[in-house]
Structure 1
Amino acid sequence: MKLQQFFKTAACAALAAFVACLGLSLAYPLSASAHEDKADAKKYMSQNLTVSGAVENRLVLEVDDLRQFPVQQIEEQAITRMSGANAGKLEKFKGVRLRDILDKAVIISRDHNDVKKIVVIATATDGYKVVFSWSELFNSPVGEGVLVFFEKDGKVLADDEGRIAMISAKDLRTGPRHVKWLQAVEVKKIVD
């Protein structure tokens, strides 16, 4: 085993152990070609988004519901894999900021320090998961770019994206937190 591969493997194992200690589980991302067959992609279709967990208002949102939020349009967004390799781009897509959705759900925070212990877990229908901290979403430039999107080039998203998807456009490598077939957002306090 090459030394570089060893460190990548060790880093992945350390991250997995850390995430397990937090009581979370992360699915490994599917390869870009895992669902090239349209018939296969249809079984992962996401029709609505459920927001649950440590929120006052559990939400179940369809695309028409998302259109009621302040809509953001991005002309072009590069998708970059974790390795730094180019994975294409999204063009002319519309969506809403995740934090606007979370504001409507109202995150439960009994103590002013509670928000420092909150994570937001976004899950796709195929089990893929990504995690954001409250601070990323509400107290950093990253939050400006976390979009739940539902339209591309003036049309509904294709089967290979689901009807609802997500991207963290301000990440240096946007691919790892590009969630196709988005179905759920769970707010979770990780430390008491």
Structure 2
Amino acid sequence: MRADSTSQAIHHYSDSLSIDGILPHGRRYEREDLLDLAGTHRGPVTIECFSGRHIRTVSHLRGVLLTDLLDAAGMQSLPRSQCKRLVIAVMAGDGYACLFSWHELYNSDIGNGAMLLVEQDGDLLPATAGGLQLISLQDRRLGPRQAIAVNRIAVRDWQTALR
């Protein structure tokens, strides 16, 4: 279940995250780790679904850039030729997945705005938003690549995944 407003009940919650796949250092981040790493601040933002329907406005966001988490798991140590084939799936507790390519995250402005949120308008890991959230602030619409109750990041080689 994905929430379209903060008044809807959330049946999934996450305050920890695992990173797995082909990266050399699979990682698990617990609540305190994520709160300590959350040094990126943004806002205000308006979140809209793909149709343009207003979902909500948020004044202040705090979180961790997706690239920082991937780098801590060893992304920078992989050969560039291999990185160019990577797909990153950020998985939510309700089964929703947001996909990024390595190119988007490391070779475009998308990487500067793809972040895991730990705070929204002063509320740490808000239960009404499923706790840990993903948002991609450089997308044209902020709703489609937003996920709630994020609990996993999977990194795969797209050529291998197609077989």
* Fold match (TM-score > 0.5): yes
Structure 2 residue aligned with 1:54: 22
Is the contact between residue 63 and residue 164 of structure 1 (CA under 8 Å) also seen in structure 2?
no
> Are residue 80 (structure 1) and residue 52 (structure 2) matched?
no
Structure 1 residue aligned with 2:107: 139
The offset of 1:59, in angstroms, is 1.1
Structure 2 residues not aligned, in runs of 5+:
none
Structure 1 residue aligned with 2:144: 176
Higher relative contact order (CA 8 A, sep 6+): 2
Cα distance in 1 between the residues matched to 2:151 and 2:13: 9
The offset of 1:189, in angstroms, is 0.4
Cα distance in 1 between the residues matched to 2:139 and 2:114: 9
Higher mean displacement: 129-138 or 99-108: 99-108
Structure 2 residue aligned with 1:106: 74
Cα distance in 1 between the residues matched to 2:158 and 2:76: 13
1:7-156 to 2 correspondences below 5 Å: 30=2, 32=4, 36-37=8-9, 41=10, 43-69=11-37, 71-107=39-75, 111-156=79-124
The offset of 1:90, in angstroms, is 2.1
The offset of 1:93, in angstroms, is 1.6
The offset of 1:154, in angstroms, is 2.3
Post-superposition CA distance 1:132-158 (Å, at most 9, x none): 000111110010000101112222132
In the alignment, residue 8 of structure 2 is paired with which amino acid?
E
In the alignment, residue 33 of structure 2 is paired with which amino acid?
D
CA-based RMSD: 2.2
Cα distance in 1 between the residues matched to 2:111 and 2:76: 18
Runs of 4+ in 1 over 4 A off after TM superposition: 108-111
Could you tell me the TM-score, scaled by structure 1's length?
Answer: 0.76
The offset of 1:56, in angstroms, is 1.0
The offset of 1:79, in angstroms, is 0.6
Per residue, is there more helix in 1 or in 2?
1
Cα distance in 2 between the residues matched to 1:184 and 1:114: 21
Cα distance in 2 between the residues matched to 1:32 and 1:149: 17
Could you tell me the TM-score, scaled by structure 2's length?
Answer: 0.88
Structure 1 residues not aligned, in runs of 5+:
1-28
In the alignment, residue 4 of structure 2 is paired with which amino acid?
A
The higher radius of gyration belongs to 1
> What SS does structure 1 have at the residue aligned with 2:105?
helix
The offset of 1:64, in angstroms, is 1.5
Cα distance in 2 between the residues matched to 1:173 and 1:167: 10
**Given the superposition, is the C-alpha separation of residues 174 and 87 from structure 1 closer, same or farther in structure 2, using an over 3 Å criterion?**
same
User: Number of residues paired by the alignment?
Assistant: 160
The offset of 1:60, in angstroms, is 1.0
Aligned sequence identity (%): 29
